[in-house]
């Protein structure tokens, strides 16, 4: 959590420092914890067996805190089609990949 400016727990800190450095993006892309959480989200979405559009809306809102716009829905569905062709089916891995993409999106990283 040091990459995300977590203060040291050894004393008080009046104001947290704010930064946006490459280490933060690299942690979100490569950290085993983040990857594991994305896999867990993918498994949960896959096992719920809801319609694809409902699952997309749910995952997007869970990660970004807001419903997807029409443009975002179109891009997500295109991504899912591409990943489904690559993996052979709409599997847990495809949903995990989508979760990983959304966690690395500006919608997750920044409050609008």
Q: What is the pLDDT of residue 37?
A: 95
Look at residue 106 and tell me if it is in a domain: yes
Give the model confidence (pLDDT) of 44-102 as tens digits: 999 999 999 999 999 999 999 999 999 999 999 999 999 999 989 999 999 999 999 99
Q: Is the pTM of this model over 0.85?
A: no
Look at residue 61 and tell me if it is in a domain: yes
Look at residue 27 and tell me if it is in a domain: no
Look at residue 1 and tell me if it is in a domain: no
Look at residue 30 and tell me if it is in a domain: no
Q: How many domains does the chain have?
A: 1
Residue in this structure with the two tokens 């892309």, named with its chain if needed: 29
Look at residue 14 and tell me if it is in a domain: no
Show the 3-state SS of 22-81.
Answer: HHHHHHHHHCHHHHHHHHHHHHHHHHHCCCHHHHHHHHHHHHHCCCCCHHHHHHHHHHHH
Look at residue 73 and tell me if it is in a domain: yes
Long-range contacts at 1-10 (CB < 8 A, ≥ 24 apart): 3/27
Residue range of the domain that includes 90: 53-112
């Amino acid at each position: 959590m040091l990459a995300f400016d977590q203060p040291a727990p050894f004393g008080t800190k009046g104001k947290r420092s704010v930064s946006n450095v490459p280490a933060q993006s690299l942690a979100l892309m490569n950290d085993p914890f983040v990857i594991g959480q994305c896999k867990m989200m993918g498994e949960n979405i896959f096992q719920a067996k809801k319609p694809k559009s409902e699952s997309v809306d749910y995952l997007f809102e869970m990660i970004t805190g807001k419903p997807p716009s029409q443009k975002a829905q179109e891009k997500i569905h295109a991504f899912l089609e591409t990943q489904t062709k690559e993996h052979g089916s709409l599997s847990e891995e495809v949903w995990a990949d989508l979760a990983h993409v959304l966690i690395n999106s500006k919608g997750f990283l920044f409050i609008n």
